[in-house]
A and B are shown apart, each in its own frame.
Chain A
Amino acid sequence: MRTLNQTTQEVLDLAAKHFQVAPGSLAPEDDFFKKLGIDSLQALELLSRLENHFGIELPDYEVQGVSDFKTLAERIQSRL
């Protein structure tokens, strides 16, 4: 079982890879809309990548209002 820290790191790594930014340039508290310059649809795309990676289903409502990696990782962790 992953720890929350591990999950958070994997979320950051995957986001960096998906949106082609330097690994390590993202921090848990970062606002992903702002930091990555993405819109809500691109955020949903990231969600699909995360689902595949973690082997879970994340309903759309789970990320409703979520804009930072840390909270996103917590939502994932609760479903692992």
Chain B
Amino acid sequence: MLDLSKYQSVGAALKDALDTFSNEVCLIESDRDREKERLTYREFKQRAHSLARAMQEAGFGAGDRASIIMTNQSKWLITAYAIFYCGGVLVPLDYKLTPEEQWRLLKHSGASMLITEYPIWRQLSLSGERASASNVRKILVAEAPPIELGGALRWEQFSSPSEPLFVPRSRSDLASVVYSSGTGGRPKGCMMTHENYLEQCIALTSIYPFWPGVRYLSILPTNHAIDFMVGFFGPFICGACVVHLRTLRPEYVREAFPKYKITYVSLVPLVLRNLQKGLQARFDALPPGKRRLFNLLVALNRALTKKRPRLGLSRMLLKQVHAAFGGELRAIIVGGAFTEPQTLQFFYDLGIPVANGYGLTEAGTAITVNDLKPFRADTVGKPLPGMEVKIVNPDADAIGEVLVRSKTVMSGYLNDPELTAETILDGWLKTGDLGRFDAAGHLQLFGRKKNMIVTEEGKNIYPEDIETVFESLPVKEFCVFAANYVWLQKSMVGEQLVLVLHLDPGQSLTEDLRKEISARNNRLLNYKRVHGVVLFQEDFPRTASLKIKRNELAERLAQLDRASAILPL
């Protein structure tokens, strides 16, 4: 692994990695049963350099911003490297957002280039919002059919035979703008510096190292902070290999483990739980005799790995389970949202450690991670090296807000000094999450004090962002809240959004109004939808500029009985 303390930028570190590990395979791309691509670091460099040079010839240079909206694939990483090589700033956007949301964030980011793939471009090019993002002057589209592309150029043809010029950056320069939320309301573009990434990578690889021969299965979207770090930057600076699947159906994901002898994979809790359900069903189907023997082996494995994981032993005891995962799996990294302890314990008992942790984009991916010494299913682990974590305003149970200070914390929110000042105080990042430390120094989480939810798919949903869909609803006023924010729960599970309605005098929640709410709700992606309706009889408290005072409204709502107040939709 490269010594990242010697580097000034992500681009410089990656540049050396491509030369250091030139003969190693860095990328495998598979679509169903077909392997589409297999690249060595040398081949990766050739492709990225011809793209970087073409970008430079098109005027892209130091500090310029380029956005990638792509599914996980080799071209994502090749393009990202080319951007860094040119000294540019990467703006990775979620390919699952709507075209309107993507254009709004493109406008906010100030990106001059957009690199995307045809199915996404097909939607983007039809959106009326396109005209608003006039800052996006050059668009590259990968895998496009031979048709006119509405002013965009083909990624595959955008290359130059000349060598590009490497543009150095310093640690304090901006490396990327990563949106943690704000698709409908106030965009939260986290400004990440080169130092943020270099320091995060040093911290993470000190606990979970990669090396040539490691194969990382990249399933979480690469625009997500976790996959960017453990599915691109981390493996690359260690000479490891990243495997991309173009089809993320459960059956192809399952097949990928033995086919590519996967070493590490990152999953969101939803996928991990699905995997657990599938395995449990197979165990339950075993004949009684075999089932008893299997349970005995699991119990034995649990007893023998109580203090630390013993991979060799677990693979021997539970051979068939490990064979199904390819026999090389060292750990599953789970992140993006809270994972139930019983799910973590289920995998650990099978000899598959689940590296759960806690983090947020603003803090540069991970803040704490379970170091497995010993495994603890009931915590999110200890702070990573270089992370200062403290609990402020603790209650009688020692639970308070989690604050973080570290070289990995973002420099602020793009174009929003006010929000930055509210979020980072004297160098300490206010996470808005509630937690406490136990005697062993492990962090335990107990809910949030911020008005948002995180889904099992790792999606952060802010109520303000989805309120636009309910605009002009025929009621006096409305507001969306995270139920656990109103009725504080010391829990990270069962998070839901509710629509609070203040009806006009004499108005009632008729069937027609319910239908109208449902129809609008259904326009949202399924994970963004509100779960129920709360009727509130008073005027919403508002500021002089008529903005809703959300905190005050939440306090008043909290006086209602939660169970009877939330009417299901």
Contacts and interface: CB of A to CB of B under 8 A. Distances in A.
Interface size bracket, A side: 10 to 19
Contact of A60 (B71, B525, B527): B71
Contact of B270 (A33, A40, A45, A61): A40
A65 B98 contact: yes
A65 B250 contact: no
Interface string A43-70: 0110110000000010111101101000
A31 B71 contact: no
Contacts of B98: 65
A60 B270 CA distance: 18
Given A40-B526, A41-B270, A65-B98, A48 B119 contact: no
Contact of B248 (A33, A44, A62, A67): A44
Nearest to A32: B526
A31 B522 CA distance: 8
Nearest to A43: B526
Contacts of A41: 250, 270-271, 274
B261 interface: no
A53 to B, nearest CB: 15
A18 to B, nearest CB: 13
A48 to B, nearest CB: 5
B319 interface: no
Contacts of B250: 41, 44-45
A interface majority secondary structure: helix
A67 B522 contact: yes
Most buried by B among A40, A44, A45: A40
Nearest to B99: A65
Given A41-B271, A41-B274, A47 B522 contact: no
B282 interface: no
A66 to B, nearest CB: 10
B522 A40 contact: no
Nearest to A38: B526
Contacts of B95: 61, 64
Nearest to A45: B250
Contacts of A47: 249
Contacts of A39: 270, 274, 456
A59 B251 contact: no
Contacts of A64: 95-96, 119
Contacts of B96: 64-65
Given A31-B522, A40-B457, A59 B119 contact: yes
Nearest to B277: A41
B475 interface: no
A64 to B, nearest CB: 6
Contact of B119 (A34, A40, A61, A67): A61
Given A40-B270, A40-B457, A41-B271, A65 B249 contact: no
Contacts of A65: 96, 98, 525
A41 B566 CA distance: 28
B120 interface: yes
Contact of B251 (A34, A48, A57): A48
Contacts of A44: 248-250
A33 B531 CA distance: 13
Most buried by B among A33, A34, A39: A39
Interface string A12-26: 000000000000000
Contacts of B274: 39, 41
Contacts of A62: 119
Interface in B478-534: 522, 525-527
Nearest to A29: B522
A57 B534 CA distance: 43
25 contacts: A33-B526, A34-B526, A39-B456, A40-B270, A40-B457, A40-B527, A41-B270, A41-B274, A44-B249, A44-B250, A45-B249, A59-B119, A59-B247, A60-B71, A60-B246, A60-B249, A61-B71, A61-B95, A61-B119, A61-B120, A62-B119, A64-B95, A65-B98, A65-B525, A67-B525
Given A44-B250, A64-B119, A65-B98, 10 more contacts: A41-B271, A45-B250, A48-B249, A60-B248, A61-B71, A61-B95, A61-B120, A64-B95, A67-B522, A67-B525
3 residue pairs, one from A and one from B, having the closest CB atoms: A61-B119, A33-B526, A44-B249
